[in-house]
Amino acid sequence: MRTSSSAVGRWMPVVAAGLVCGGLGWWAGHVATTPQTPPGVSSSRMVLSQARQASVGRSLPYGVTVNQQNKPVARNALQGVVVSATPGRLGTGAVAYVVAGVPVRVVAGSAPFYRNLTAGVTGNDVRQLEQALVKMGLLKTADTTFDARTTDAVKRWQSQLKMPATGTVPLGEVVAVPSLPATIALASSISPGAVLSGGEESVLAPSGARIFALELSQDQARQVPADAAVQVKFNRRTWPARIASSVLDDQSQLTRLVLKAPNGGAVCGSQCGELPADPTIQLAGQVFVVPVVKGLAVPAAALQSAADGATFVLDPAGRRIAVGVKGAGSGLVVVTGLSAGQQVRVGNATGESPPAPPTQSLSPTGS
């Protein structure tokens, strides 16, 4: 296969740079020096390499910022002076603030608490309360009915908090947030010494869509093509992403590259619920500034270019084999025109030895 002279012109600087960067380590660990030199070649040793499956490309590691807006999720239903406020990362049953000696606790749920919870009432708000009691080890199972089991569990909870063990939960003593644990903020009206009359916005929690973005300096942003593929890693998961938009922040002078999933949705897709419920988190990202290409590869030093622009390699006997270049990186070139295991010379046409291989080697990866 032949490439145009313009194509060769594009690839040869990359190939040369790859040789300097250390791709010879790949063939150094997998290539044997031939025991005898073919006729017509100088007596200096000739180094051969086999065409092997490999992946080439170039990527840059950048942190990915994930933001989720804090929104009001509950209003205060108590009256009196705020004794204390404890925003921050809270778990199930934790106290967010205290009004006139009454602790206001958070539980996970999407339905707001709107009434006194006492024996005999039923509904989703009861289920949310019971699920919290189960989470805290005070109840075995949850349903939608506030029964004797629920009353006993609430009494134990109240005793732990040094509250009167009434077995009921008056309106305002618990508030629902979308998920826990989460980093909870409090409205400005909920501060020690403030006098509350009821109805004030109280608890703010991360809610809504997750926004993934790369926040880069202008120099860093210039290295990232607009169509670059991105991978975002969280625990053992890897999410593919693309750059959806770019905005320059006038104050920080950082370029914000907003990421979307390839289908245009949230990067985390249906797995967003696995992320910590915090307004801002940092994840590891990989930006592929040169697309990854997989295929049969040979060391960059094996590739040669003829005067007419043809790209070729030499077999052990010195015969030319025309090849096409698919991609290059780290001193390797992915080519067409060779079969797996086919041997090619590494070095120039006279059989002179290539430079000494670098200390660090690069092993090929299968496609």
Could you read off the pLDDT of 137-187 as tens digits, one per residue? Answer: 999 999 999 999 999 999 999 999 999 999 999 999 999 999 899 999 999
User: Does 110 score more than 70 pLDDT?
Assistant: yes
Choice between 229 and 350, residue whose per-residue pLDDT is larger: 229
- Rounded percentage of the chain residues whose pLDDT exceeds 70: 83
Q: What CATH number belongs to 5-58+293-346? A: 2.40.420.20
293 or 360, greater pLDDT: 293
Q: How confident is the model at residue 56 (pLDDT cuts 50, 70, 90)?
A: confident
On the question of pLDDT at 62 being above 90, the answer is yes
Summarised one tens digit per residue, pLDDT across range 70-84 is 999 999 999 999 999
The CATH number assigned to the domain with range 61-68+209-291 reads 2.40.30.170
29-33, 70-74, 103-107, 273-277: which has the minimum mean pLDDT? 29-33
Q: Do domains 5-58+293-346 and 70-206 have the same CATH topology?
A: no
pLDDT of residue 10: 43
User: Rounded to the nearest 10 degrees, what angle do helices 148-160 and 124-135 cross at?
Assistant: 50
Domain assignments of the chain as residue spans, ordered by start = 5-58+293-346, 61-68+209-291, 70-206
DSSP 8-state symbol, 199: -
- CATH architecture of the domain formed by 70-206: Orthogonal Bundle (1.10)
Dist. CA 291–CA 106, nearest whole Å: 47
- The pLDDT confidence band at residue 261, using thresholds 50, 70 and 90, is very high
Question: pLDDT tens digit string along 3-15?
Answer: 344 444 444 444 4
